[in-house]
Amino acid sequence: MKIDNLEKIIQDVIQLIYPGISKIPDVLLVPSPEGFGDFSTNVPFDLASMLHKSPVSIAEEILKHLNFPYFSSISVAKPGYLNFSFALSVYRDFLQELEEKGEKYFYKERNGMKVQIEFVSANPTGPLHVGNGRGGIIGDVLGNLLKVEGFDVIKEYYVNDAGSKMNLFAKSIAYYYMKKLGKNPEPVEEAYRGAYIEDIATEILNDYGDSLLNGEGRPLIDEIQKIGKEKMMYRVKESLEKFGVAFDSWFYESSLYSSGEVDKITEIFKKSGYAYEKDDALWFQSTLFGDDKDRVLVRGTGEPTYTLVDAAYHKNKWDRGFKKVIDIWGADHFGHITPMKALIQGMGLPEDFLDIIIYQIVHLFENGKEVMMSKHSGTFVTLEELVNEVGRDAARFFFLLKSSDTHLNFDIDLAKRESIDNPVYYVQYTYARLKSILWKGEEKGIRYRGVDEADLSLLESSDERALLNHFMYLEKELERVARKHSVHRIPFITIELCKKINTFYQNYNILSSEEYVQPRLSLVYNALNVLSFLMNLMEIEKKERM
C-alpha cells in the first residue's frame, strides 16, 4: 500500500459524497505535525469554497464515510484538517514490498520517454573550474533521479570545439610552441594565459618535435588546435572522473559542420520565413517569439554564429528521438535562454521540448577574500584541485546542497576545515552504524527474519513511527524533486532521514531489546535499504566501517 493509493481512496470517497463537484481537488497526504497522527490533508479547505460550507463540517462528513481498514484512526482538527493514523497493515504491506525489491522498490517502471540532459559542456580551452563542478553534480544527480522515475536518460557533454575561442586557444599554445623552438612569434592578443597552455605546448613539442613547423600559418594552428583539443579533453575527462561524474555521450560541435547539419539548418531557417538578410548577415526573427531583438544566424563573413550551431545541435537532439531535453547552464549564459527557446519554436519543435536549468554563480573565497577567477588570466581554482583538497564525496555533497537558484559562496578554508564534520560524513557514519548492528547481530546469533516475523505493533514510539513514515513518504518526495528539478533537496532529505535513524539508534539498544528485536531490526534493515538508495542516487561512497 502506497500513499498514492490512500490518496486515491480518499478522493474517490469525496467524489461519492459530493457527486456534484466537477473537479475534485487533489488529495495530498503530507506528514502531520507532531501529535496529529501520521499524515494529514487539507482538502476540506479546498472544498469549503466550492460547497459554501465550513471546512470542519466537510471534514466531519468525509470522516463519516471513510470506513477503511487502512486507517487506525482518523480525526478532524480545528480549522479543518483531516488527520490520519495508518494501520499497521499499511506499514507491513509497504515493508514487505520494500524488503522484497530492495532499492529497486523506488525505481518506477520504464515509461519509454527519452530524455537528454546536457551539462558541463565547457569549452575545451582550459581545465574545468569549480563552477563546472556545480553544473556537473546537478546534471549527474538529476539524471540518476530521472532514471529512477522511469525515463530513458542520456547524460551528454557538448564539446564546443569549433568557433573563435578554440582558435584563440590554439594560437595561445602555438605561441609557446614556437617560442620553445627559438622562433620569435607575435604575441597573441587576448591569449589564454594559464600554466596549462605552456604545459600543453611542451607536451606537443615532446610528442612531435618541430615537425609541426613545416607549414607555418593556418596548417600549424589547425594541427595544434586538433592536438590541443585532445589533450585538453583528456584532462577534462580525468577531472570529471575524479569528481565522479560520468557521461553517456560526448557530442562534438565540429561534427555538426562535417555532417552538413549546420548547412541544413540554415536552409530550414531560410525556408521557415523567420529569417531575413540584412547587412550581409542572415538574421532570425526571434522577436516573433518574445525575444527583445533579432539574432544573427550567419555573419556577414559567411561564418555561422554560435546561435545557429546551437539550433542545429538542438535539432539533432530532436532527431535522435528525445522528447525532452534539459540543458544546465551557468548564470552567465542566462541571456541565451530566450533566443534558444525562440529557436526551438522557429524550428517548429514543441515549446516544452527544452527545459533550461540555470545555476547561479560560484564565488570562491580564500583567506576571507574572494578569489577572482578568469580563464583568460589563468587565475582560477580548478575542479580537480578542489576535489583533491576536500575529497570527492564532500565536494559532491557540498555542491549539491544548495538550490541552483542561490549563489554559492565556496569558502575554501571552510570547506577544508569542514571536511572533518561535513554533513557527508554524518550520512556515511549513519550507514556504517546500521551495518554494524547487523554484523554484531550475526555474531550474537541474532538475525533479522523479515517483516512477516516482526510484530510491528511493538513499534509504538514516535521515533520509530517517524522512521516508517519517512520511508513511506520518500517516494512522493522524490517525484516532486524530479518534477521541479530541485535535486538539492536530496541531500536534505537524506540528512533528515539520518537524523531520525540516529535518534532511534541512540534511544534503543536494538540487539538487546528482547521481544522488540525483530520489529526494530526491520527498521534497521529497511533504513539501510532506503539510505543505500539515496546514497547511490547521489553517488556518495557507502563505507561499511568508519
Partner RNA sequence: GCGCCUAUAGCUCAGCAGGAUAGAGCAACGGAUUUCUAAUCCGUCGGUCGCAGGUUCAAAUCCUGCUAGGCGCGCCA
Question: Under rule CB under 7 A, which residues in 179-238 are in contact with RNA?
Answer: none
433 binds RNA (CB under 7 A): yes
Q: Which residues, 266 to 285, sit near RNA by CB under 7 A? A: 278-281
Shortest Å, Cβ 265 to RNA: 15
Q: Which of 2, 242, 499, 542 binds RNA (CB under 7 A)?
A: 499
* Shortest Cβ 169–RNA spacing (Å): 11
Could you say which residues in the range 244-263 bind RNA, by CB under 7 A?
253
Is residue 350 classed exposed, middle or buried when 0-12, 13-18 and 19+ CB atoms within 10 A define those classes?
A: exposed
Nearer of residues 239 and 430 to RNA, judged by Cβ: 430
Site for RNA in 284-303 (CB under 7 A): 292-293, 296, 299-301
- What is the contact mask toward RNA in residues 65 to 94, using x (rule: CB under 7 A)? ------------xxxxx-x-----------
Are 323 and 114 in contact by the 8 Å Cβ rule? The answer is yes
Q: How far apart are CA 324 and CA 328, in angstroms?
A: 13
Q: Per CB under 7 A, which of residues 364..383 are in contact with RNA?
A: none
Q: In the Cβ-directed half-sphere of 35, how many Cα atoms lie within 13 Å?
A: 1
Among 23, 52, 271, 545, binds RNA (CB under 7 A): 545
| Using rule CB under 7 A, residue 445 touches RNA | no
**DSSP per-residue string spanning 191-238:** ---SHHHHHHHHHHHHHHTTGGGTTTTHHHHHHHHHHHHHHHHHHHHH
411 membership: H or E segment, kind and range: strand 408-411
Q: Which is nearer to RNA, 212 or 395 (CB)?
A: 395
- Contact, 85 vs 295, CB < 8 A? no
- Using CB under 7 A as the binding rule, the residues of this chain from 105 to 144 that contact RNA are 123
Under the binding rule (CB under 7 A), the answer on residue 458 touching RNA is no
Structure letter (DSSP) for residue 78: T
| H helical segments located in 18-87 | 43-51, 55-65
The Cβ of residue 175 has, within 10 Å, a number of other Cβ atoms equal to: 21
* Dist. CA 546–CA 541, nearest whole Å: 12
CA separation (Å) from 11 to 41, 231, 474? 11, 60, 21
Closest contact distance (angstroms) between CB of 308 and RNA is 9
Strands 281-284, 275-278: parallel, antiparallel or unpaired by DSSP?
Answer: antiparallel
Closer by beta carbon to RNA, 90 or else 401: 401
Q: Is 447 in the site for RNA (CB under 7 A)?
A: no
Site string for RNA, 35-54 (x = CB under 7 A): xx---x-x--xx-xx-----
Q: Which of 85, 360, 532, 536 binds RNA (CB under 7 A)?
A: 360
Out of 508, 532, 536, 539, the residue judged to bind RNA by CB under 7 A: 508
